[in-house]
Every structure is written in structure tokens, then in C-alpha cells.
Amino acid sequence: MLTPWSRAAGYAALVTLPSWLWGALVVHVGGGFSLADLGMIAGGGLFFPPLAVAVLTVVRKALPALSRWRTATIDVSVYAFLVLVCAVLGGVWGGSGLAESVDWAFVMMTVALLDLQFVMAMGLSAWGYDRLVPTAPSGRVIRT
């Protein structure tokens, strides 16, 4: 709980936005989808990035910064869960049935795994870990 809100929000944006944009770009270029389809296809719609930034900010503010890779694993798990939830809700709100929306959400998670969106989020999480750790001096004097 030592991480300030601004650092937690910056970290969440660092993890979410580039990886989501990467996934959207790969799906758009590789799949030949139009820009109108891009919002629904790229990880649960355009409501995913603000929701993911908000949730990851709260998670990083509430949980202590563990080791670099434990923090990255927790954050990518939250990121993947939010991709799933946003894709289901986007499908239901778009008029599809619940069963079809759940199927589509798992397809989107598979696509996010194959286009390395989750891997990119994990790498960015590990790289941005230093933003979460307090940098105050410990007060010890090291003598050489």
C-alpha cells in the first residue's frame, strides 16, 4: 500500500495500453477486419482499456508489490480475466446470446495468447515494476 495512486495508474496504463493496441493491430492486419469491427474484436471492445487501467490501478494500490515476476503474473491474470469479461459483456450487449458471447470470449483469449498480447503485458509489467517499489532511502549507512 506504499505505492502512490499516480504511480499505480501510470503502471496500469503502461501494462494495458501498448499490449491492447498491439493485439488490436495484429488482429486488424492479420485478419483483414475493417476499422468498424476493430472495437469489438480487439480484446473486448473500446471499453476494455479504461476498465483495465482502473482495475489494475486499484489492484496495484491494494496489493503490495511482491517480487517482479509474481507481480507480473498477478497483473496478467487480472488482464486476461478482464479480456474475458469485456468480450462476454460486449457480445451480450451487441445482441448475441450468452452462450455465443462466452464462446467468442474464449476465442478472443486464444487470439490474445497467440498474437503475444498477454506476453507483451507480462513483459511490460515486469519492466514497469520499478515504478511500484518505494524508492525512499533505507537510512542505513554502508561503510566500505
Say yes or no to pLDDT of 54 above 90.
yes
* Confidence at residue 36, expressed as pLDDT on a 0 to 100 scale: 47
DSSP 79-103: HHHHHHHHHHHHHHHTT--HHHHHH
139: left (phi over 0), alpha (psi -120 to 50) or beta: left
pTM confidence score: 0.81
* CA distances from residue 103 to 23, 36, 49, 120 in whole angstroms, order as listed: 19, 21, 21, 24
Over residues 108-112, the mean pLDDT reads 84
Say yes or no to pLDDT of 45 above 80.
no
Over residues 54-65, the mean pLDDT reads 90
